[in-house]
Amino acid sequence: MTVKAIRKISAVLMLLVFSFSLAACSESTGSVREKTSESGSRTEESVVIAVDSEPETLDPTQGWGHGNAPVVQSTLVNYTADLTFENDLATDYTLSEDGLTWTFHIRDDAYFTDGEKVTASDIVFTLKTARAAQGSVDLTYMEDAAAVDDNTVVITLSEPTSIFLNTLASVGIVPEHAYGKSYGRSPVGSGPYKFVEWRPQEQIVLEANEDYYGRIPSIKKVTIVFMSEDAALAAVRAGEVDVAYSSAVLGKTQVEGYHVEALASADNRGFTLPVLPDTGKTTESGAPVGNNVTCNPEIRQAVAFAIDRQQVAETVLNGFGRPAYSENDGMPWNNPESAIETDVEYAEKLLADAGWKDSDGDGIVERDGLKAEFSCIYPADDPVRQAIAMAAAEQVREIGIRIDVEGTSWDDISKRMFSEAVMMGWGSSSPNETYYLYRSEGALLDDFYNPEGYQSDVTDGYLNAAMEALTVEEANENWKKVQWDGTTGTSMKGECPWIWIVNLDHVTFVRDGLSIGDQPIHGHGHGLPLIRNLEEWEWSQ
């Protein structure tokens, strides 16, 4: 792809984003000023944070904190910045030799903010409630949980499950005595912060928990305001927020008194490619399945090798991004051998060796009368996905493959994703995402994980071995083999059901003098992953 062409795409993206900004800046500034003025002027003990995504609930059993940290509630174990584990409520834990029984001993100095002590019964209640909810917290493999005494919990699994600690690191413990239907809107917890107020579609206010058993936060008051990207930039320019998420397009905007932090993430963008041919079959919901072009592995691999990911990151993402080669780049379970180099000649050779050639001179290769062209759909309200898809399509055109980029609704995508390419976004702080993306039994379900229909006995073997591993190290070795075992795998040098393109930096404006701590690699979603280490934030003296 020419630099001129990709700059044109980048310019289109910038125009789209700035058009949204100009439309909302005039009315957003006043509303932000009104909200923040009620909290008082900025002090050395308070912060105002602007994010775009308002949570649906603050109830961990319903998904609050999933993949991040619940902040208001404590967890049995915590993620560290390097995504290893440390004790939180737990003082120690053991695992039986068969991998089925976990025993946790918990600290005796943890209290909920209503003054009641945290006990083993609260942990049992939380886990059973989360299992019954069958939401984003997957505890289907938990057979039972029991309190031996106030400080000992025994959890029995139906099968060894290596991601159990990952799950526990995001499930905040709720109080059995104070739990009810309204808990998600007015939670009581034992975490570093306590809930104060929630104004839907406006803000959530938290205060430091002065009775917290761990490090007492130096930031005493936190106001999280919900606003669009354009409104957040307006608030930064007006000096009304201390931290605000932004985008790659706006990341080089200079605002006096602020600096931009480009936070590394595994928040990736890439597209699925249906691996099954079109034989007239449909899903249970009646959606068509299969694509006669993308079902050919040489087509998928040629597309993968033809894309210059670094160029897309530098131009479309304004330098605020990195090439993506898997769903988990940078994570401890990532296989670095999944990375590939851009190689247009190799891509062309793959096509030629498989009999694809441009017979009629229209620039598109064909075989047996079938042209190498297909559609890539994306959510129409996402200009970043649009620009990435357009850039990839322009680059791939040079090897004779045509990709028609089309914006549409998520409802439409849910019906077409089994037969067409889709510009998706994933990224998680848990390897269970790899499990759901590639397991054969998850193919062609209506949950966006495996719409391409990928199935492999070899991959299933590694996935199951990773899940059943008794140590993190053993699990990680098998997660890596899922991607590439030296012969095959889900990576782009293997079966290639996905074309991974870029990982987005989470561009964030931060007021000078404020430290937001040692941020771990963020997962998918820009905003709430930022506060997982909120108790570490502090103003310089």
Same domain, 296 and 422: yes
Residue-wise DSSP of 216-248 = PPS--EEEEEE--HHHHHHHHHTT--SEEE--T
| Range in 247-251, 269-273, 435-439, 470-474 the model is least confident about | 247-251
CATH for 92: 3.40.190.10
Confidence of residue 80 (pLDDT cuts 50, 70, 90): confident
Does residue 444 have a pLDDT over 60? yes
Same domain, 335 and 474: yes
- Whether 302 and 350 have beta carbons less than 8 Å apart is answered as yes
Does residue 12 have a pLDDT over 50? no
CA-CA-CA-CA torsion sign (455, 459, 461, 466): negative
Same domain, 413 and 523: no
Surface-to-core class of residue 18, CB atoms within 10 Å of its CB (0-12 exposed, 13-18 middle, 19+ buried): middle
State both tokens at 202.
């406006």
Residue 67: what pLDDT?
Answer: 64
Report pTM.
0.86
Same domain, 276 and 314: yes
Measured CA to CA, the distance from residue 55 to residue 184 in angstroms comes to: 10
Measured CA to CA, the distance from residue 305 to residue 77 in angstroms comes to: 41
Residue 459 lies in a domain: yes
Does residue 32 have a pLDDT over 70? no
Measured CA to CA, the distance from residue 440 to residue 430 in angstroms comes to: 19
Same domain, 288 and 219: no
Residue 10 lies in a domain: no
Residue 451: what pLDDT?
Answer: 97
Given 111, 146, 178, the domain boundary residue is 178
Q: Find, among 484, 490, 501, the residue nearest to 450 by Cα.
A: 490
Same domain, 260 and 270: no
Residue 121 lies in a domain: yes
Confidence of residue 31 (pLDDT cuts 50, 70, 90): very low
CATH for 333: 3.10.105.10
What kind and span of H or E run contains 142? strand 142-149
Same domain, 282 and 354: yes
Measured CA to CA, the distance from residue 344 to residue 348 in angstroms comes to: 6
Given 133, 154, 178, the domain boundary residue is 178
- Whether 366 and 356 have beta carbons less than 8 Å apart is answered as yes
Find the domain containing 449 and state its range.
266-504
Surface-to-core class of residue 153, CB atoms within 10 Å of its CB (0-12 exposed, 13-18 middle, 19+ buried): buried
Residue 520 lies in a domain: yes
Question: Which H, E and C letters describe 108-122, residue by residue?
Answer: CCCECCCCCECCHHH
| 428-452 mean pLDDT | 92
Top-ranked range on mean pLDDT: pick from 48-57, 166-175, 202-211: 202-211
Measured CA to CA, the distance from residue 350 to residue 371 in angstroms comes to: 16
Residue 4 lies in a domain: no
Same domain, 411 and 429: yes
Same domain, 410 and 423: yes
| 79-100 mean pLDDT | 92
Residue 322 lies in a domain: yes
Residue 394: what pLDDT?
Answer: 97
Given 126, 147, 178, the domain boundary residue is 178
Same domain, 246 and 272: no
Q: Find, among 301, 293, 259, 258, the residue nearest to 277 by Cα.
A: 293
Same domain, 212 and 282: no
Same domain, 90 and 126: yes
- Determine phi and psi for 50, rounding to 5 degrees: -105, 125
Split into its structural domains, the chain has a count of 3
Residue 18 lies in a domain: no
Amino acid at 517: G
Measured CA to CA, the distance from residue 327 to residue 342 in angstroms comes to: 18
Residue 300 lies in a domain: yes
